[in-house]
Amino acid sequence: MTYPFKFTNIEQPSLELGRLREWGGMAARQVRATPGKHNGGTAPEHRLIFYLTPDVQTECASEGLRQRRISAPYDFDLVPAGASGFWEDYTACDMVAVRLNRSLLASTAEALALPGGRAELTPRLGARDPLVEHVLRALAAELEAPAPAGRIYADSLAVALSTRLLQNFAALGAGGVGGRQTLSKPQVRRVVEFVEANLDGELTLEQVAEVAGMSIPHLTTLFRRTMGQSVHAYVMERRVQRARTLLLGRRMTIAEVALETGFAHQSHLARWMRRLLGVTPSEILRA
């Protein structure tokens, strides 16, 4: 699979840090990144990086996941507490970096009555979510405002964001022998690489389970627990994101993109793209 861009090694990339606002268990900051590779290291808090600049050519990785893409405004990367990651941008871009304390997630999980009152977030790259985007727009507006909003408003945003992340991006703990069993990092890496290399083909659960080295029932349970979604949902999300990248490259027709990303036909691609991104392929080309 070829991409419509290449990455360059640019010495000494920098991060220009803008206004910072902190509210209890949540903090948000304006960031402008120059082109180059930025190593995020690890942190005790959960981190979300939201892209604001359109059509940013980027490569990123976290805990076995790796992705090249053309980002759109409000795409975000989720790096859980204690996890490492990096991103490399081809052009300068503006971002909003959000940090959430683990205690905030733990108290929200308890309030939601999740199993054992506990939950862990899983790494996600190039994710989109309408409710998360709504909260981020509110946070971005707060960073632009001359004075911070009241604490009750900020707390409501923090709870809404935490709740949505736990609902859609969490690896829920499970009891029994072995405790909180999930896919190992090597298994995640093998599965992700296999899916990325075969998005244009007819992927089956049997193939993915063989790559992971386990039975289909075991795979479906551990994949959802590790990635926060089913294998099918993950594959369709990656196909849609790949299709968007190809459309933005403007080198292929919509029908060609549909076939290149494993969709049966152009209407099939349009249906899934509208469901996951809220736009059609034609609207992306016109943007």
Render 41-104 in DSSP notation, one character per residue: ---SSEEEEEE-STTEEEEEEETTEEEEEEE-TT-EEEE-TT--EEEEESS-EEEEEEEE-HHH
Residue pLDDT, tens place only, 96-118:
999 999 998 888 888 777 765 45
Read off the CATH number of the domain in which 167 is found. 2.60.120.10
Residue pLDDT, tens place only, 184-208:
888 998 999 999 999 998 888 889 9
Task: Identify whether 68 is part of a domain.
Answer: yes
* Number of compact structural domains in the chain: 2
Last residue of a domain, one of 121, 141, 172: 172
Last residue of a domain, one of 151, 172, 193: 172
> Cα–Cα distance between 181 and 186 in angstroms, integer?
14
Residues 36, 167, single domain; the answer is yes
Residues 31, 157, single domain; the answer is yes
Q: How confident is the model at residue 262 (pLDDT cuts 50, 70, 90)?
A: very high
> Cα–Cα distance between 122 and 223 in angstroms, integer?
11
Contact (CB, 8 A) for 98 and 81: no
Contact (CB, 8 A) for 95 and 18: no
Here the tokens at position 7 are 């990455």
Using a 10 angstrom Cβ sphere, with 0-12 exposed, 13-18 middle and 19 or more buried, the burial of residue 286 is exposed
pLDDT at residue 178 in the model = 39
pTM over 0.85? The answer is no
Residues 30, 123, single domain; the answer is yes
- Could you tell me how many residues make up the chain? 287
Task: Identify whether 96 is part of a domain.
Answer: yes
Range of the domain at 152: 15-172
Task: Identify whether 6 is part of a domain.
Answer: no
Cα maximum dimension of the chain: 56
Residue pLDDT, tens place only, 116-174:
545 678 889 988 888 899 999 999 998 988 877 777 788 888 888 998 898 888 765 44
Last residue of a domain, one of 118, 150, 172: 172
